[in-house]
Structure 1
């Protein structure tokens, strides 16, 4: 029987009818299922970029077709529960995660955890990536009735700095740091994004890995088959890379390009990128299917189709790298809709870097293992495989060069143009290494010694001798004298005394060595001091001078060992008349003690297990001190501080003209002024080098007048 509204009078009846109509609409809206829309569809329909973005306007799949299938695997209709994206830098993987969050807020609301390596990194991502997306996408913009709640609303139900709320449900995105156990324990969630996964710690406060903790947050929803998880990262070291492990246990999909010449599908590899001799900026692709010469970068977009992904193995059979179009489509038809997907976004297929850019950066990384590792991880998008053992210190001893050294009555060799010094601080004294540098990171060990004495009191003991040593001038071959250009001192031990020494002269820098494969050679980072009083008591100081200069020791040692191995190879090649110009060529003076060579090769890379996860780290060899290896690390930091790798050939030529200019007067020794005699701790004394200095040549000739010397 119809409800009698009229008995309430005309005005009340009209109000009741209006309220009931609104209620009917709300109930219907609540019961209506969301549109059957895939994430890739939602993205093209709603995602927008600002006018000042590199690619403004609506999202276009034509820019990066390889992202379509990745995004669709995160749609509710797809059975995928977990996807791992191993990628090069700037490949669109993180943008896909941003689109997924927007889609969830609109069509599949639920609780989500977004994890970065640190909470600060997560907050920076929100400020720099997420909120600009919200502002430029009307479907999300709260000012336009979008699905994201604004920050700081008067009712207190808006988004906050660390929690992004959805407007149409109780869904949210909780921002968390992989270094904070508390932020990973707060909620049971349906969705999770782990961004920059390889930067997560192996163990968090003794509670296991952050990945395991995220897994526990998803358990309830996963049991119902409703959870989804996205892992994204550039890789690091092969065998210990977290994203590499996640990709390895997935269906390992690789992207196939379509050849514009023969129509075949193929997985591009770095060997397919070619360039004329010495012209890396002209790099192009030679397809392995037909060998057509050649494909330019501008053709890459037409070679990428959205259906290009194919599992590395289907039905237990490895998928060939090259397939005809018919074979490719048949393989796609056999590929199961797995619950664990893996996508490899390599630099070669990326829409956001050219093959020429890759080739130029590949050229620039040659001869330096640390740079090559960075290129492999960030530009190529692959794990870096550590190869080679510890350089042979006995063979390195044989490379000591006659005729120069601090205790020889001769001048500094002709090669070095810039002088640095690295200092390792011990309780009973200071180890130092003085190094000369030239182009292409070529180095000369000018001196290595131990200055005994206490190091815990500012300006006293060994510090007084070091100050005298560091202030003396170095005489170059033409006779002109210059001071040491940069000194880097280990301040991790007896910090106040080390900093006091460094404050005495502008060319001195206190540094702190830190383990880690992703740290820069030299960078500002960790706080040294904390506020002692006031409202900020206990908080880190905001003063720039209270930020430590951090030295990434792992990468420096990797480069150094590579330089030593290439030096040995070059020396061997020169015995048969070959000429080598390898980067990082190392020269050693005749006065260096035997122990020096043992110390500069005193560590090796080992695999250790932390919280059940493997990691590759540097460890000292048994019975081998590593003080002069640390000195070389700090010398490399000094090289970085002076930005010597940025100098052009013209810069080096001007520097050579300045420092090698002749000066009247007799040539002095390597260092002017007295210095405490070089001594070693009692437990570390070594014999003098066995190789005697060369006898003076008749008439001072550079080469003996001996028949048949050439």
Structure 2
């Protein structure tokens, strides 16, 4: 043996001579844990007093506690992952045994191991217990750490092989609401992981940690409801009455959410964020249910985040930014309030949308619309397109909805789309706009779509692939092969994944918005010209329903209520194009620049007829109906008999 190995064996032998001292996880952390500077906002010795609400949580995780399962449903910026790391450290150092740590995917598991676990085992007192990964047969890899008396395995919930890797006395599952419904078609990953603990009986420790997601589908919520359901009560500095911090009691001056304060629900005293320094150390956990005696459940929101971490003002500011966007509001509700989101997947009433139509001309951009995007749905015998104008706060105006008739395998219909993409649309203020980005579906006639999109370039046309499993509205574009005549083309293409389920929920939230009299419309409000009833039926043709998958677990999926849903798909793709342009992140200065550019156009001479929007010519043509035309009556464009414009009905 070399000197390093000899020293390591000697240290382990000396530790074996020392009598065991039974420490809870919080006591171990206060005595031994050091936070590394590269991973912690407050590096240095761990102090449970900084997050006093975690003391009871960590004590319930301890080997000496009577609980077999600990559930922590918590918001952001509370230290929940650090509490789980303290358990990991105490197991490696103090109560060795087989330990399994499960993250949503293998990739996140690798990242978690490098960013969170490695700094823990590299610091004292764990340094040396897990050998240097550079030494021969160290037993220290990214996903496996050997230590005297035990083994820590890190894996992803999407890997059934990883979940079957070994028995585990200690099982830590972080962000369980991000776990897939099925692990390699072998069943629920939580159930698979828990099965690895059964041989340890009452000595096992199962830790579930997560922010919640959707009501009825949230694993962490279901586990919490099976527990004794503890909440953290804190006293009011003024009247001393204990209460659970509630979002309804957070108030701020008009237009200044950063100045938010907490109003005691008993005495009405207003407390600023600094009051938490007095309230938190005096708080206590109170159970609201009996439970089964083996599960301790804890719920806590980000309103309890310690001073210096996340203030009430920051939470309120985030709320103001998110409240008009259902997707962002859902994330805010989950991560800040630690509450599940109640999905409203039922379709808005198409009749109400039809009744609130506005009288602006089809094909003209109303005042307030500053950027145009388009969405294209590809069918066997036609293309359907919507051009949408966007303004501040993602307020939108449908400019025109067109059906381009012709086989999608032939060139004619794509030439019609070329014409529409190159058209200019007059604005109410006298300027002109063209489409800044067009999103086209690649689910049908894929290679034809690829070839057409490639001719126009990635800055103008974004091919999209819709999926209900994409976790973001618009993902990062990835390269694909484009073929022609069976041969790959030299210059490739990038396709954008689109979370159509997320965008449909966002759109339905916008469609439910109501104007308050003559007040400006809320952010996200959707305006429509006098389209006929069929357009609004298509726009609201789907609803979100709960189904049970093959493994018996619930899932939400979108279901058609009507045969025609092209208007919904077109609007989703047009929205994806707007988000890809970053319109949801534009500051006021950027909107002002675009508005100023429009003013400059107003000073230019009027457009000659040949360059005007084709919609202007169509608007002067009386509606007509032809046999075989899908959907409602549409006006015939003089530019081509294959084109059908959506007209008022």
In structure 1, the gaps of 5 or more residues are: 1-22, 315-335, 531-543, 695-710
Query: Secondary structure of 1:304's match?
Result: helix
- Higher mean alpha-carbon deviation, 645-654 vs 60-69, is at 645-654
Q: How far does residue 546 in structure 1 lie from its aligned partner after superposition?
A: 7.6
Q: How far does residue 263 in structure 1 lie from its aligned partner after superposition?
A: 2.4
Q: Tell me which residue corresponds to 2:262.
A: 285
Is contact 1:598–1:624 with CA below 8 Å preserved after alignment? no
In 2 relative to 1, CA 84–494 (structure 1 residues): closer, same or farther, beyond 3 Å? farther
Q: Tell me which residue corresponds to 2:502.
A: 555
Question: Residue deviations 1:561-610, cap 9 Å, x none?
Answer: 121111xx32xx54xxx4342122211122x3432111111111211112
Distance 2:428 2:317 in 1: 36
| 1:171-182 equivalences in 2 (<5 Å) | 171-182=150-161
Query: Secondary structure of 1:132's match?
Result: helix
Distance 1:659 1:647 in 2: 17
Is contact 1:600–1:626 with CA below 8 Å preserved after alignment? yes
Q: Tell me which residue corresponds to 1:79.
A: 66
Q: How far does residue 681 in structure 1 lie from its aligned partner after superposition?
A: 9.9
Q: How far does residue 663 in structure 1 lie from its aligned partner after superposition?
A: 2.4
Distance 2:347 2:431 in 1: 39
In 2 relative to 1, CA 643–29 (structure 1 residues): closer, same or farther, beyond 3 Å? closer
In structure 2, the gaps of 5 or more residues are: 1-8, 483-490, 636-645
Distance 2:628 2:86 in 1: 65
- Higher mean alpha-carbon deviation, 387-396 vs 659-668, is at 659-668
Query: Secondary structure of 1:254's match?
Result: strand
| 1:5-16 equivalences in 2 (<5 Å) | none
Query: For 1:342, which of 285, 297, 303 is the aligned residue?
Result: 297
Distance 1:546 1:191 in 2: 47
Distance 1:515 1:436 in 2: 26
Is contact 2:400–2:615 with CA below 8 Å preserved after alignment? no
Q: Tell me which residue corresponds to 1:512.
A: 465
Is contact 1:253–1:343 with CA below 8 Å preserved after alignment? yes
Distance 1:306 1:529 in 2: 62
Q: Tell me which residue corresponds to 2:614.
A: 671
Distance 1:261 1:165 in 2: 52
Matched, 1:585 2:525: yes
Is contact 1:522–1:549 with CA below 8 Å preserved after alignment? yes
Query: Secondary structure of 2:511's match?
Result: helix
Q: Tell me which residue corresponds to 1:295.
A: 271
Query: Secondary structure of 1:361's match?
Result: helix
Q: Tell me which residue corresponds to 2:352.
A: 395
Query: Secondary structure of 2:199's match?
Result: helix
Matched, 1:523 2:475: yes
Q: TM (normalized to structure 1)? A: 0.80
Q: Tell me which residue corresponds to 2:642.
A: none
In 2 relative to 1, CA 125–664 (structure 1 residues): closer, same or farther, beyond 3 Å? same
Is contact 1:435–1:635 with CA below 8 Å preserved after alignment? yes
Matched, 1:604 2:543: yes
Q: Tell me which residue corresponds to 2:338.
A: 381
Q: How far does residue 650 in structure 1 lie from its aligned partner after superposition?
A: 3.7
Q: How far does residue 161 in structure 1 lie from its aligned partner after superposition?
A: 2.1
| 1:113-132 equivalences in 2 (<5 Å) | 113-132=100-119
Q: How far does residue 389 in structure 1 lie from its aligned partner after superposition?
A: 3.4
Matched, 1:687 2:633: yes
Is contact 1:475–1:671 with CA below 8 Å preserved after alignment? no
Question: Residue deviations 1:12-67, cap 9 Å, x none?
Answer: xxxxxxxxxxx999889648653111111111111112345420110011221111
Is contact 1:405–1:670 with CA below 8 Å preserved after alignment? no
| 1:205-220 equivalences in 2 (<5 Å) | 205-220=184-199
Is contact 1:602–1:629 with CA below 8 Å preserved after alignment? yes
Q: Tell me which residue corresponds to 2:182.
A: 203
Is contact 2:532–2:647 with CA below 8 Å preserved after alignment? no
Distance 1:547 1:463 in 2: 19
Q: How far does residue 201 in structure 1 lie from its aligned partner after superposition?
A: 1.6
Distance 1:402 1:257 in 2: 55
Distance 1:213 1:45 in 2: 35
Distance 1:32 1:211 in 2: 37
Question: Residue deviations 1:124-165, cap 9 Å, x none?
Answer: 001111112223x211123xxxx22322421x2421122121
Query: Secondary structure of 1:305's match?
Result: helix
Query: Secondary structure of 1:484's match?
Result: strand
Q: How far does residue 245 in structure 1 lie from its aligned partner after superposition?
A: 0.5
In 2 relative to 1, CA 101–529 (structure 1 residues): closer, same or farther, beyond 3 Å? farther
Q: How far does residue 258 in structure 1 lie from its aligned partner after superposition?
A: 2.2
Q: How far does residue 387 in structure 1 lie from its aligned partner after superposition?
A: 4.0
Is contact 1:452–1:680 with CA below 8 Å preserved after alignment? no
In 2 relative to 1, CA 547–261 (structure 1 residues): closer, same or farther, beyond 3 Å? farther
In 2 relative to 1, CA 28–123 (structure 1 residues): closer, same or farther, beyond 3 Å? closer
Q: Tell me which residue corresponds to 1:253.
A: 230
Query: Secondary structure of 2:496's match?
Result: strand
Distance 1:25 1:499 in 2: 64
Q: Tell me which residue corresponds to 1:158.
A: 139
Q: How far does residue 414 in structure 1 lie from its aligned partner after superposition?
A: 2.5
Number of equivalences? 610
Distance 1:380 1:680 in 2: 55
| Bigger Cα Rg | 1
- Higher mean alpha-carbon deviation, 468-477 vs 114-123, is at 468-477
Distance 1:24 1:646 in 2: 58
Q: Tell me which residue corresponds to 2:418.
A: 467
Distance 2:259 2:209 in 1: 32
Query: Secondary structure of 2:435's match?
Result: coil
In 2 relative to 1, CA 478–130 (structure 1 residues): closer, same or farther, beyond 3 Å? same
| 1:421-460 equivalences in 2 (<5 Å) | 421-456=374-409, 460=411
Distance 1:369 1:579 in 2: 21
In 2 relative to 1, CA 624–680 (structure 1 residues): closer, same or farther, beyond 3 Å? farther
| 1:56-71 equivalences in 2 (<5 Å) | 56-71=43-58
Query: For 1:640, which of 569, 572, 579 is the aligned residue?
Result: 579
